[in-house]
Amino acid sequence: MEKRREGEPTETPGPQPIEADERYRRLVAGRSRFAWTLTCVMLAIYFGYILLIAFEPEMLARPLGSGVTSLGIPLGIGVILAGILLTAVYVRRANKVFDRDLDALRKDYGA
């Protein structure tokens, strides 16, 4: 029989019961899918703006009205606001759906 060293766990811990629950797996998959969707939307907006800068600088340099502000400025602000908006969308969904479902699971498993 092999002698156990001090501080070594007696057995290898397996997956926690909550991790085996189908509701937990659905929650993790749904949250991940939602986060990746928002990430892809933000990347499309950001890289779309960068591609406009690279390939259509004349369009972004067009002045708005008779002032000195060009079209690129409000579009750049729009990129920033899109990031804030998408963050708010995620937080709202997390607070309404993901946290509620996770709290129900914690209650069921006494965590």
Question: pLDDT of the chain along its 111 residues, tens only?
Answer: 556 566 666 565 555 678 888 999 999 999 999 999 999 999 999 999 999 999 999 999 999 989 899 999 999 999 999 999 999 999 999 999 999 999 999 888 876
Strand-pairing partners, residue 63, are 70
CB count within 10 Å of CB 93 equals 16
Residue 102 tokens, joined? 């996770």
Q: How many whole angstroms separate alpha carbon 71 and alpha carbon 48?
A: 15
Cβ atoms of residues 75 and 52 within 8 Å: yes
Determine the pLDDT at residue 76: 97
What DSSP letter does each residue of 23-51 carry, written as one string?
HHHHHHHHHHHHHHHHHHHHHHHHHHHHH
Q: How far apart are CA 73 and CA 110, in angstroms?
A: 52
pTM of the model: 0.77
Predicted local distance difference test score (pLDDT) of residue 47: 98
